[in-house]
Amino acid sequence: MNEVDLPAGEGRRIRRHDPERRTRILDAALDVLVTDGAANMTHRKVAARADVPLGSVTYHFSSLAELQTQAFARYVEQRTAEFEGLFTEVETREHLVKVLVDLVQGGPSRRRSAVLGFELHLAALRDPALRALTQKWTRDSRAVLARFAGPDTAGRLDALLEGLIMHALLATEPEPRAATRAAIVQALGPITG
């Protein structure tokens, strides 16, 4: 947990026994996925972003595909936890709507997450290993939503959120909050929950 054993000097160099390195590399990989996209990720970019020698990346991950898969796995884990966290204190329907609207409109802070999500979706289209991840993710998301609405509603809500987020990502000017809100309210249905 601490970083006592390094000279605290030039940054890198002499970093024996660095158990965090693996996860540091994974986080760097996610950074690269956001900025450059899945197909433009390279060992070198990840190594540079993680401030780690090139050999270290190939040492910890036997191939670029494996690194990508594990990075996405880490993303899904984090995202699922974060998603779940958003709803722990939700009790009223009003509160639920607010949380969902925030999810869609959630500014630059949520951009990283959204980009990674679509990056994963597209990559999963061609890589079965990743499709396992997207399926688990979809299942988990729906399960969370289903706590507030029936399973059918959860399904359509999920799809709607997906589309709204993608459109928000690409729009030059943000959709008015009221429109997002109206769409969500409608999808939640008349008196559900």
Partner DNA sequence: AATGAATGAGTGTTCATTCAT
Partner DNA sequence: TATGAATGAACACTCATTCAT
Residues ≥6 apart with Cβ < 8 Å to 158: 138, 141, 142, 145
Binding mask 83-122 for a second copy (x = CB under 8 A): --------------------------------x--xx-xx
Nearest to 46 by CA among 58, 32, 65: 32
Q: Per CB under 7 A, which region of 56-64, 103-111, 132-140, 157-165 contacts DNA?
A: 56-64
44 lies in the site for DNA, by CB under 7 A: yes
What φ, ψ does residue 173 adopt, rounded to 5°? -120, 140
Q: Token digits for 134?
A: 């997207």
Give φ, ψ of 148 to 5 degrees: -115, -10
Residue 90 CB: number of other CB atoms within 10 A? Answer: 17
Query: What is the smallest separation between the CB atom of 21 and DNA, expressed in angstroms?
Result: 4
| Dihedral sign (CA 182, 184, 190, 193) | negative
Residues in the chain, overall count: 193
Query: Of residues 62, 88, 109, 172, which one binds DNA by CB under 7 A?
Result: 62
Residue 146: CB atoms within 10 A of its CB come to 16
- From 60-68, 98-106, 151-159, 164-172, span contacting DNA (CB under 7 A): 60-68
Number of chain positions touching a second copy (CB under 8 A): 39
Q: Which helix (H) or strand (E) holds 28?
A: helix 21-36
The mark string for 65-104 relative to DNA (x by CB under 7 A, - otherwise) is x---------------------------------------
Residue numbers at the binding site for a second copy (CB under 8 A): 37-40, 115, 118-119, 121-122, 124-126, 131, 134-135, 138, 152, 155-156, 158-164, 166-167, 169-172, 175, 179, 182-183, 186-187, 189
Residue numbers at the binding site for DNA (CB under 7 A): 12, 15-19, 21, 40-45, 52-56, 58-60, 62-65
